[in-house]
Amino acid sequence: MAVYEVKHPLIQHKLGLMRKVDLSTKQFRELASEVARLLTYEATKDLETETITVSGWAGPVSVQQIKGKKITVVPILRAGLGMMNGVLDMIPSARVSVVGLYRNEETLEPVAYYEKLATGMEERTALIIDPMLATGGSLLATIEMLKKAGCQRIKGLFLVAVPAGIERIVAAHPDVDIYVASIDERLNERGYILPGLGDAGDKIFGTK
Ligand code: PRP
Ligand code: URA
């Protein structure tokens, strides 16, 4: 497993804007999509390509195309939807596998309420998307669903995570790669990331 904190200046700049308390829903949404796009670029760097020949303006030309193209994007409802368009901008033909989970506010344990996975999960690389990796409970539950469906290659893309949540995933699923714009300091007593972004779902959906 590898954990990548993606220090690209565009990502860091956009994440910095997202931390402002007075951002509008529209601005937060736009930035979440933009950072998701950049994280996707990073997380797909190791996709295999193959050489094919196409007819170019001056005759046959060798070009690269992505081999297999079997990718499924896995947004964790609901906040994960805020990153989905950004990812699909980069991988328009990806299948979408939706997982519904919310955290019980008292126990912080994830509660599953929806699961609709793409077909042929055994052959697909899954890109889980969620703005926040806090205790890691939601990610653990999602990885377990995907592995139960036969998925063998899993990556997670997050805007913000904390070390304890990442360590929990590393211990349980050392084969899963994590791409995150920022590894923040810690969780507060209510399980929110500090300095974090606040409640990502409320900000993306404008429900606060
Ligand atoms: C948030 C976030 C993650 C989860 C992270 O979702 O989007 O899914 O919390 O926390 P964890 O690592 O401790 O599990 P939330 O439960 O607030 O639901 P929502 O997306 O429906 O708002
Ligand atoms: N979920 C959020 O939306 N924000 C946090 O800081 C932690 C979990």
Q: How far is residue 146 from each of residues 122, 125, 158, 170, 190, measured CA to CA in Å?
A: 9, 10, 17, 16, 28
The residues assigned a catalytic role are 103, 107, 199, 202
Q: What is the ipTM of this complex?
A: 0.98
Ligand nearest to the CA of 198: 2
Q: Is 75 a pocket residue for ligand 1 (Cβ < 6 Å)? A: no
Q: Is 157 a pocket residue for ligand 2 (Cβ < 6 Å)? A: no
pLDDT of residue 208: 77
* Candidates 3.40.50.2020, 3.20.20.60, 3.30.70.2170, 3.40.50.2300; CATH matching 3-46+68-205: 3.40.50.2020
- Tell me which of 36-45, 63-72, 84-93, 186-195 is least confident: 63-72
pTM for this predicted structure:
0.96
DSSP-based three-state secondary structure for 123: helix
pLDDT of residue 101: 95
132 CA to middle of ligand 1, Å?
Answer: 6
Q: Which of 15, 81, 102, 132 to mutate to test the pocket of ligand 2 (most atoms within 8 A of CB)?
A: 132
5 CA to middle of ligand 1, Å?
Answer: 20
DSSP of 36-55:
HHHHHHHHTTT--EEEEEEE
* Domains of the chain, residue spans: 3-46+68-205
Q: What pLDDT digit, counting tens, does each position of 113-168 carry?
A: 999 999 999 999 999 999 999 999 999 999 999 999 999 999 999 999 999 999 99
